[in-house]
Structure 1
Amino acid sequence: MAELVGPRLYSCCNCRTHVALHDDVISKSFQGKNGRAFLFSHTMNIMVGRKEDRQLMTGLHTVADIYCLDCREVLGWKYERAYEETQKYKEGKFILEKSKIVKENW
Protein backbone atom coordinates (compact mmCIF):
# COMPACT_ATOMS: atom_id res chain seq x y z
CA MET A 1 0.00 0.00 0.00
CA ALA A 2 1.39 3.38 -1.01
CA GLU A 3 1.98 5.96 1.69
CA LEU A 4 0.58 9.44 1.27
CA VAL A 5 3.49 11.88 1.05
CA GLY A 6 1.51 14.89 2.22
CA PRO A 7 -1.90 16.49 2.07
CA ARG A 8 -3.86 16.40 -1.17
CA LEU A 9 -3.26 19.72 -2.89
CA TYR A 10 -4.29 21.72 -5.90
CA SER A 11 -1.59 23.53 -7.85
CA CYS A 12 -1.46 26.16 -10.58
CA CYS A 13 -1.75 24.41 -13.95
CA ASN A 14 0.93 26.66 -15.39
CA CYS A 15 3.79 26.52 -12.86
CA ARG A 16 2.66 23.92 -10.26
CA THR A 17 2.77 26.34 -7.31
CA HIS A 18 0.52 25.01 -4.53
CA VAL A 19 -2.64 27.13 -4.31
CA ALA A 20 -5.14 25.18 -2.16
CA LEU A 21 -5.72 22.13 0.02
CA HIS A 22 -8.34 19.55 -0.86
CA ASP A 23 -9.63 19.80 2.72
CA ASP A 24 -10.64 23.44 2.04
CA VAL A 25 -13.06 22.56 -0.79
CA ILE A 26 -16.57 23.69 0.12
CA SER A 27 -18.26 22.79 -3.17
CA LYS A 28 -17.33 21.37 -6.57
CA SER A 29 -20.54 22.48 -8.27
CA PHE A 30 -19.73 26.07 -9.21
CA GLN A 31 -19.42 27.67 -12.63
CA GLY A 32 -16.37 29.72 -13.61
CA LYS A 33 -15.65 31.77 -16.72
CA ASN A 34 -14.23 28.69 -18.47
CA GLY A 35 -16.40 25.85 -17.12
CA ARG A 36 -16.54 24.03 -13.80
CA ALA A 37 -15.09 25.66 -10.72
CA PHE A 38 -14.61 24.82 -7.05
CA LEU A 39 -15.44 26.98 -4.03
CA PHE A 40 -12.67 27.04 -1.39
CA SER A 41 -12.63 28.41 2.14
CA HIS A 42 -8.89 29.23 1.91
CA THR A 43 -6.17 29.51 -0.73
CA MET A 44 -2.40 30.05 -0.60
CA ASN A 45 0.29 31.55 -2.82
CA ILE A 46 -2.14 33.85 -4.59
CA MET A 47 -2.43 37.60 -5.23
CA VAL A 48 -5.78 39.33 -5.02
CA GLY A 49 -6.53 41.89 -7.74
CA ARG A 50 -8.72 44.95 -7.58
CA LYS A 51 -12.35 44.71 -6.51
CA GLU A 52 -15.15 45.14 -9.02
CA ASP A 53 -18.86 44.53 -9.16
CA ARG A 54 -19.82 41.61 -11.42
CA GLN A 55 -23.20 40.24 -12.40
CA LEU A 56 -22.81 36.47 -11.93
CA MET A 57 -25.32 33.64 -12.37
CA THR A 58 -26.41 34.05 -8.73
CA GLY A 59 -26.70 37.84 -8.76
CA LEU A 60 -24.54 40.89 -8.22
CA HIS A 61 -21.30 40.36 -6.28
CA THR A 62 -18.18 42.38 -5.54
CA VAL A 63 -15.29 40.14 -6.56
CA ALA A 64 -11.53 40.37 -7.12
CA ASP A 65 -9.63 38.16 -9.56
CA ILE A 66 -6.99 35.95 -7.96
CA TYR A 67 -3.63 35.22 -9.55
CA CYS A 68 -0.90 32.65 -8.96
CA LEU A 69 1.79 34.36 -6.88
CA ASP A 70 4.55 32.76 -8.98
CA CYS A 71 3.47 33.00 -12.63
CA ARG A 72 0.55 35.48 -12.40
CA GLU A 73 -1.92 33.10 -14.09
CA VAL A 74 -5.54 34.10 -13.39
CA LEU A 75 -6.96 31.18 -11.36
CA GLY A 76 -10.40 32.47 -10.42
CA TRP A 77 -11.77 35.09 -8.05
CA LYS A 78 -12.44 35.98 -4.44
CA TYR A 79 -15.95 36.89 -3.30
CA GLU A 80 -15.64 40.17 -1.41
CA ARG A 81 -19.35 40.99 -1.07
CA ALA A 82 -22.67 39.36 -1.94
CA TYR A 83 -25.67 41.65 -2.28
CA GLU A 84 -28.33 38.98 -1.90
CA GLU A 85 -28.90 37.50 1.55
CA THR A 86 -28.90 33.91 0.25
CA GLN A 87 -25.42 34.42 -1.22
CA LYS A 88 -23.70 35.89 1.87
CA TYR A 89 -22.03 32.53 2.67
CA LYS A 90 -19.67 33.15 -0.29
CA GLU A 91 -18.14 36.29 1.19
CA GLY A 92 -14.41 35.85 1.83
CA LYS A 93 -14.37 32.56 -0.13
CA PHE A 94 -12.47 31.73 -3.32
CA ILE A 95 -13.37 30.27 -6.71
CA LEU A 96 -10.65 28.27 -8.48
CA GLU A 97 -11.46 27.22 -12.02
CA LYS A 98 -10.98 23.49 -12.60
CA SER A 99 -9.17 24.18 -15.90
CA LYS A 100 -6.60 26.33 -14.07
CA ILE A 101 -5.59 23.88 -11.31
CA VAL A 102 -4.12 20.38 -11.13
CA LYS A 103 -4.20 17.75 -8.38
CA GLU A 104 -1.02 16.90 -6.44
CA ASN A 105 -0.40 13.99 -4.00
CA TRP A 106 -3.56 12.05 -4.94
Structure 2
Amino acid sequence: MAESLGPRLYSCYNCGNHVSLHDDIISKSFQGRSGRAFLFSHAMNIRVGAKADRHLITGLHTVADIYCGDCGELLGWKYKRAYEASQKYKEGKFILEKAKIAKENW
Protein backbone atom coordinates (compact mmCIF):
# COMPACT_ATOMS: atom_id res chain seq x y z
CA MET A 1 0.00 0.00 0.00
CA ALA A 2 1.26 3.48 -0.83
CA GLU A 3 2.15 5.80 2.01
CA SER A 4 0.22 9.04 2.33
CA LEU A 5 2.43 12.00 1.45
CA GLY A 6 0.21 14.55 3.15
CA PRO A 7 -2.07 17.12 1.59
CA ARG A 8 -1.85 17.90 -2.11
CA LEU A 9 -0.33 21.36 -2.40
CA TYR A 10 0.42 24.03 -4.94
CA SER A 11 3.81 25.74 -4.73
CA CYS A 12 5.47 28.72 -6.37
CA TYR A 13 6.95 27.42 -9.64
CA ASN A 14 10.04 29.57 -9.11
CA CYS A 15 11.14 28.64 -5.56
CA GLY A 16 8.86 25.86 -4.28
CA ASN A 17 7.21 27.91 -1.51
CA HIS A 18 3.82 26.36 -0.58
CA VAL A 19 1.06 28.79 -1.59
CA SER A 20 -2.23 26.85 -1.44
CA LEU A 21 -3.95 23.52 -0.83
CA HIS A 22 -5.67 21.55 -3.58
CA ASP A 23 -8.76 21.33 -1.35
CA ASP A 24 -9.09 25.14 -1.47
CA ILE A 25 -9.81 25.24 -5.22
CA ILE A 26 -13.22 26.71 -5.97
CA SER A 27 -12.93 26.76 -9.77
CA LYS A 28 -10.45 25.87 -12.52
CA SER A 29 -12.33 27.94 -15.13
CA PHE A 30 -10.60 31.30 -14.77
CA GLN A 31 -8.31 33.30 -17.00
CA GLY A 32 -5.12 34.98 -15.78
CA ARG A 33 -2.57 37.22 -17.48
CA SER A 34 -0.61 34.23 -18.78
CA GLY A 35 -3.46 31.84 -19.52
CA ARG A 36 -5.49 29.48 -17.39
CA ALA A 37 -5.93 30.26 -13.69
CA PHE A 38 -7.60 28.75 -10.63
CA LEU A 39 -9.83 30.45 -8.06
CA PHE A 40 -8.85 29.52 -4.48
CA SER A 41 -10.64 30.21 -1.21
CA HIS A 42 -7.33 30.59 0.66
CA ALA A 43 -3.66 31.23 -0.06
CA MET A 44 -0.63 31.09 2.25
CA ASN A 45 2.95 32.34 2.34
CA ILE A 46 2.11 35.22 0.02
CA ARG A 47 2.46 38.99 0.04
CA VAL A 48 -0.51 41.12 -1.02
CA GLY A 49 0.24 44.28 -3.00
CA ALA A 50 -1.64 47.55 -3.28
CA LYS A 51 -5.25 47.41 -4.39
CA ALA A 52 -6.36 48.84 -7.73
CA ASP A 53 -9.48 48.85 -9.88
CA ARG A 54 -9.20 46.65 -12.98
CA HIS A 55 -11.54 45.88 -15.83
CA LEU A 56 -11.47 42.08 -16.07
CA ILE A 57 -13.43 39.72 -18.32
CA THR A 58 -16.34 39.72 -15.84
CA GLY A 59 -16.40 43.48 -15.26
CA LEU A 60 -14.85 46.01 -12.90
CA HIS A 61 -13.19 44.65 -9.75
CA THR A 62 -10.89 46.01 -7.06
CA VAL A 63 -7.96 43.59 -6.86
CA ALA A 64 -4.51 43.37 -5.32
CA ASP A 65 -1.65 41.47 -6.92
CA ILE A 66 -0.28 38.59 -4.85
CA TYR A 67 3.37 37.63 -4.73
CA CYS A 68 5.29 34.63 -3.42
CA GLY A 69 6.29 35.33 0.18
CA ASP A 70 9.77 33.89 -0.42
CA CYS A 71 10.98 34.94 -3.89
CA GLY A 72 8.53 37.75 -4.72
CA GLU A 73 7.27 36.15 -7.96
CA LEU A 74 3.91 37.55 -9.15
CA LEU A 75 1.46 34.63 -8.82
CA GLY A 76 -1.95 36.20 -9.44
CA TRP A 77 -4.30 38.48 -7.53
CA LYS A 78 -6.78 38.73 -4.67
CA TYR A 79 -10.30 39.98 -5.28
CA LYS A 80 -10.99 42.82 -2.84
CA ARG A 81 -14.30 44.07 -4.27
CA ALA A 82 -16.70 43.10 -7.03
CA TYR A 83 -19.01 45.81 -8.31
CA GLU A 84 -21.62 43.53 -9.90
CA ALA A 85 -23.92 41.49 -7.63
CA SER A 86 -23.31 38.29 -9.63
CA GLN A 87 -19.55 38.56 -8.98
CA LYS A 88 -19.66 39.17 -5.19
CA TYR A 89 -18.74 35.51 -4.49
CA LYS A 90 -15.17 36.33 -5.61
CA GLU A 91 -14.54 38.86 -2.86
CA GLY A 92 -11.72 37.74 -0.56
CA LYS A 93 -10.74 34.91 -2.94
CA PHE A 94 -7.45 34.36 -4.77
CA ILE A 95 -6.51 33.79 -8.39
CA LEU A 96 -3.34 31.73 -8.88
CA GLU A 97 -2.16 31.43 -12.45
CA LYS A 98 -1.54 27.85 -13.53
CA ALA A 99 1.76 28.80 -15.20
CA LYS A 100 3.03 30.23 -11.89
CA ILE A 101 2.30 27.27 -9.60
CA ALA A 102 3.46 23.65 -9.41
CA LYS A 103 1.77 20.57 -7.94
CA GLU A 104 3.34 18.91 -4.91
CA ASN A 105 2.48 15.58 -3.20
CA TRP A 106 0.44 14.26 -6.16
TM range (shorter): over 0.9
- The corresponding residue for 2:6 is 6
* Secondary structure of the structure 2 residue equivalent to 1:6: coil
Task: Specify the alignment match of 1:68 in structure 2.
Answer: 68
Task: Work out the CA distance in 2 between the residues paired with 1:38 and 1:67.
Answer: 15
Instruction: Indicate the residue corresponding to 2:87 in structure 1.
Output: 87
Aligned-partner Cα distance in 1 for 2:41–2:2? 29
Matching residue's letter, 1:54:
R
SS in 1 for 2:43: coil
CA-based RMSD of the aligned residues comes to 0.5
Matches of 1:4 and 1:26 in 2, distance apart? 24
TM-score by length of 2: 0.99
Distance 1:4 1:76 in 2: 30
Secondary structure of 1:5's counterpart equals: coil
Pairing 1:34–2:34 present: yes
Corresponding pairs, count: 106
Which stretches of structure 1, 4 residues or longer, exceed 6 Å deviation after superposition? none
Counterpart for residue 51 of structure 1? 51
Deviation at 1:5, TM superposition (A): 1.2
Q: Distance in 1 between matches of 2:29 and 2:11?
A: 19
- Partner letter of residue 86 of structure 1? S
Q: Distance in 2 between matches of 1:28 and 1:4?
A: 25
TM-score (norm 1): 0.99
Task: Write the mapping of 1:87-106 to structure 2, written as runs, cut at 5 A.
Answer: 87-106=87-106
Task: In structure 1, give the amino acid aligned to 2:37.
Answer: A
Structure 1: runs of 5+ lacking an equivalent? none
